[in-house]
Amino acid sequence: MSARLIESLGATEPLAEIFSDLSVLQAMLDFEVALARAEAQLRIIPQSAARAIARAARAETFDGAALARETLRAGTPGIPLVNALRKKVQQEDALAANYVHWGATSQDVADTALILLLKKSAAIFDAELARIDKALRGQSAKHRNTVMLGRTLLQPAPPVTLGLKAAGWLASVRRGRVRLNRAISEALVLQLGGASGTLSALEGRGIPLSELIAKQLGLRVPDAPWHAHRDRLAEVVCACAILTGSLGKMARDISLLMQHEVGEVVEPGLGGRGGSSTMPHKRNPIASVIALAAANRVPGLAAAFLSQMVQEHERAAGGWQAEWPTVASVIQSTGVALASMAEVAEGFSVNPKRMRANIQSTQGTPFSEKVALLLAVHMGREKAHEMLRSWSDPKRLNKRTLSQALAGVPEVRRYLSERPDQPDAYRGSAEEFIRRLLRNGRPRRGK
């Protein structure tokens, strides 16, 4: 895995690879190659110089550790990278070395590289989101009639279905997917502004040059350079925070349903996942835990990014320099949450018998809502509510169900023509809500 051990719970292997030193270096070098080739096409620099720069721009031939040390002194990765690239080109063609990084600035390199890394990450996000979408659609359809306790403020409430719960998770993730795709699409733009964002050194050829570079890199050309305007990246970061929160909500539900006292759902235990170093009996909700850790981490990172948006004039003093680790951590944290919950969605198992038993263990008290409404028509709402509150007391029920206890109350028995504590008959509009949630917001192909 291309990440330090301390970061191993904060990234998947593919995303760790994208943000590895080699990948980051190559993204910066890709910008330099595209710049040189576009300039050669416009006859700003010689074709031979562009070819020499392209041949030298191989990340594996650079000393990443040395560049990292020099970046700390330079305050930007662009300066040491350009110096190192120029030295490599000079070994082959001294004249060509003069044209390395022609007309660009160090932030152009760093920002465009970050956007290229984001573009690669987007494909990974979309694959994991597709897994979650497919899996939760299946789980919702499979369990549309699987009745379970509703829980409000962690206490028993009238029944819901697991299908509705899964459809709710899915709808939230779908909204997050739309939001994130839109934000990433807006952010996939080239950064090329030169010294102060006017491309003045290129003598009127800056815009056609930008168009050629963007085409090579698969990016769009913004209306103007955005060195000190970080709103597009901020939208991506915030969209990640919202999506990770949605995944965290699903993870919280799953982990609570896995508690021994509840026992209604179990995460897949692939490869012995979920074990304990000291307690052989344990089956921990590890995938949910990792997603919850990400959901705890990302909001703070998003807040940090937003605080970095207040940047001075045409180039920031501190704000921009703070972004790389923040964005990298947000993207990787979102990715690990997605991968974890995709695994859960595809493989969690359900215990319908335990769900029924948990409903029965309440002695029918969650159905007090239904009884109170039926009685309110005849005796008034306040009186009905107080009567049901009193009869729902465990001491008064003793070992009876609420329905059994009320059967002995003449003024209640006269108005109740059927047993009110039948879970399958008290699902309201759950089925229609499932249909709506599954139908609406379904991503179109390629979106």
Spatial neighbors of 400 by CB under 8 A, at least 6 apart, are 363
Catalytic residue selected from 8, 200, 276, 361? 276
pLDDT for 274 equals 56
Say which range, 35-39, 127-131, 158-162, 385-389, has the weakest mean pLDDT. Answer: 385-389
Mean pLDDT of 433-438: 94
Q: Are 128 and 342 in contact (CB under 8 A)?
A: yes
Mean pLDDT of 363-377: 87
pLDDT for 394 equals 86
Alpha helices in 258-351 (DSSP H): 286-307, 323-347
In the predicted structure, residue 5 carries a pLDDT above the cut 70: yes
pLDDT digits (tens, 9 = 90+) for 186-212: 999 999 999 999 999 988 999 999 999
Measured in degrees and rounded to the nearest 5, phi and psi for residue 147 equal: -85, 140
pLDDT for 446 equals 46
pLDDT for 276 equals 47
Euclidean distance between CA atoms 122 and 243, whole angstroms: 13
Euclidean distance between CA atoms 236 and 255, whole angstroms: 28
Mean pLDDT of the chain: 92
In the predicted structure, residue 272 carries a pLDDT above the cut 80: no
In the annotation, is 333 catalytic? no
pLDDT band at 404 (very low <50, low <70, confident <90, very high): confident
pLDDT for 190 equals 98
pLDDT band at 429 (very low <50, low <70, confident <90, very high): very high
- What is the pTM assigned to this prediction? 0.92
Domain definitions of the chain by residue range: 13-104+193-222, 106-189+226-360+427-447, 365-420
Closest Cα partner for 440 from 214, 217, 137? 137
In the predicted structure, residue 280 carries a pLDDT above the cut 60: no
Q: Are 344 and 254 in contact (CB under 8 A)?
A: yes
In the predicted structure, residue 175 carries a pLDDT above the cut 80: yes
In the annotation, is 276 catalytic? yes
Mean pLDDT of 365-379: 87
pLDDT for 275 equals 52
pLDDT for 8 equals 75
Mean pLDDT of 219-226: 97
Tokens of 433: 């809500």
pLDDT for 265 equals 97
pLDDT band at 277 (very low <50, low <70, confident <90, very high): low
Tokens of 263: 């026992």
Tokens of 398: 């003793």
Q: Are 10 and 329 in contact (CB under 8 A)?
A: yes
Q: Are 52 and 93 in contact (CB under 8 A)?
A: yes
159 SS3 class: strand
Q: Which CATH class is domain 106-189+226-360+427-447?
A: mainly alpha
User: 99 or 316, which is more confident?
Assistant: 99
Amino acid letter for position 122: A
Beta strands in 135-247 (DSSP E): 147-152, 155-161
For the chain, the residue count is 447
- Architecture of the 13-104+193-222 domain: Orthogonal Bundle (1.10)
What's the Cα-to-Cα distance from 149 to each of 161, 284, 355, 374, 445, rounded to whole Å? 8, 22, 7, 21, 36
Q: Are 366 and 157 in contact (CB under 8 A)?
A: yes
pLDDT digits (tens, 9 = 90+) for 228-250: 999 999 999 999 999 999 999 99
Euclidean distance between CA atoms 82 and 158, whole angstroms: 65
β partners of residue 151 = 156
Task: With both helix axes pointing from N to C terminus, report the angle between 368-379 and 381-391 in degrees, rounded to the nearest 10.
Answer: 140
Question: Percentage of the chain surpassing pLDDT 90?
Answer: 74
Catalytic residue selected from 131, 315, 354, 419? 315
What's the Cα-to-Cα distance from 290 to each of 130, 244, 295, 435, rounded to whole Å? 20, 11, 9, 30
Mean pLDDT of 423-436: 91
